[in-house]
Structure 1
Amino acid sequence: MVKLTIPEIELMSPGHTGCQGCGATIAMRYALKALGEKTIVSIPACCWAVMPGVWPNNCMRVPLLYTAFETTGASISGIKAALRALGEEDVTVMGWAGDGGTADIGMQALSAAAERNEDVIYVMYDNEAYMNTGIQRSGATPLGAWTTTTPVGKTKFWERRPKKPMVDIVAAHKVPYAATLSIGYPEDFVKKMKKAKEISGFRFLHIYSPCPTGWKSPPQYTPKLAKLAVTSRAFPLYEVEEGIYRVTMKPKKTPLKEYLMLQGRFRHLTDEDMKELERDIERRWKELLLKEEMTAKLEELNE
């Protein structure tokens, strides 16, 4: 019998206001299990800004700071500086922002915090659009997806640009640790969260969080989609530690179509469109494996 390594502690109470099947609520629950009670969370404008509940109700058992959309990188830097001045170095500071508030609106503050190597954890929970404001396209919206600002019609207005490679972008700042996580793989998720907690300096975690409302997917399929994204290679699980790439999961590949067709946002795609997406995904997968191979060789040379 396999022993699970997920902590039993619960720092989220029942009663959040998220949609049924919300992947971001599962992500927060796992994150707090890994980080523990001595954690302060900073949340900008996003779905999670309303999900804890309306005062005096609150489903969270850790302190929260609500900030402006673009300020997560700055706010967590300030919180950490204040804790340092108070001599409370053992408190973990985590920024928790969506893909819009990270890959687009919050990019400047994120980059600045990473450049300064602030001793904080920055989480981008990625539901691949601005879900709180109406399912508008973000820089993390995948190639081929429908959103309200990339509609489907006789002309292909749906998303024509690939996702921003946020882990690669942040890793280029020479930070100690950056990684991708999926709620479909709790063991890998918690392991990376715990690892990030023990590392000093700036740590960036990109969490794949399915959104039934924006993706037009059945709520009960959220965990399944989070797994299929990984096995289809649409969202590979890897980490970059001190510049060294390592793919943390290389599962047997599943058909991309199986992943796409569970989501209404992709149902307009033809077989030829899916082949185009498959080619892009395979190219990025091979590129990732090459980065893993090349950085491993560099590590050997530096030893």
Structure 2
Amino acid sequence: MNQSKVCVMLSTYNGAKYIEEQLESLLAQRHVEMDIYIRDDGSSDETVQKVRKYAKSFSDQIKIYLFEGENLGVIGSFFELMRLTQLKYDFYAFCDQDDVWKSDKLSRAVEQLQSRPSKIPLMYCSSTQMVDQELNPLNMWPQLPPKPLSMCNALVENCCVGCTMVLNSVTFEHLRMNLPSDHKSIIMHDWWIYLVVASFGEVIFDKEPMILYRQHQGNVLGGSNDKLFTKWKNRWNRFMNGKNHFILSKQASAFFEIYKDQLSTQQQEDIQHFLYQRDRSLHNRISYALNMPFYRQASLDNLVLKLIYVMKKV
């Protein structure tokens, strides 16, 4: 039986400290045929040299395509990587530079994706085992979402960690044809992908953590191991400083602009109402916030969503 062909897309930036561990875990993947596409986002350390060394040393085992580019930031780099990737694979996976994958991460994702209809957009994602710099376990994050992974969730919350995502070819080609040209309205590449798949296909969430998700001061992004009070204090401070103002409506507008002709009538109306009601009177905003179809997974997060909507900061 032929093994599935999987493309792993890895964006690097000054990741020399941990890149070898990640590459080792990719080389250890079982029961799949894999190529690795790496785009370096303007590193100034030895990341590129280490990648080249691996590409040469393991050329008989795996094919590594390396692209060096200017610094675009994490969103721009991953979108550019998607443009550079060839359309010849069965599945496409995203990868960060400083994690460690379990050896059956890809085969488990492929198995679950193959159990669903192949002609619709599908995405697999999983929980992660968060670890410290020495790979000592911390906690598991995120937990299995209790509510449906639908457009009404994805428009206002991201439940899927990018480095756990594996897409079928239908999803990848659909995304690649419709990549946003302006990244300023995009909150994060994985959130955008979750929104697209939740709107047009199906998201498979695996509660079994399939990667060791390293937490350290150099993390560009990632899950938080903070205690609840600290997490909410930091979130509130970011909100008061204006860092999170309007990010949901900006991304929703960008999504609607690209996909409006492909959305169902109900989806179009839901997004239009979300964007329209925020500029109406306080009474209208309160009424809409209390009854909106959009939701976050946790009750407290859902309450905050309604609050920032009423405050016109969504």
Smaller-chain TM-score bracket? 0.3 to 0.5
TM score, norm. by length of structure 2: 0.31
TM score, norm. by length of structure 1: 0.32
Which structure has the larger Rg over C-alpha atoms? 2
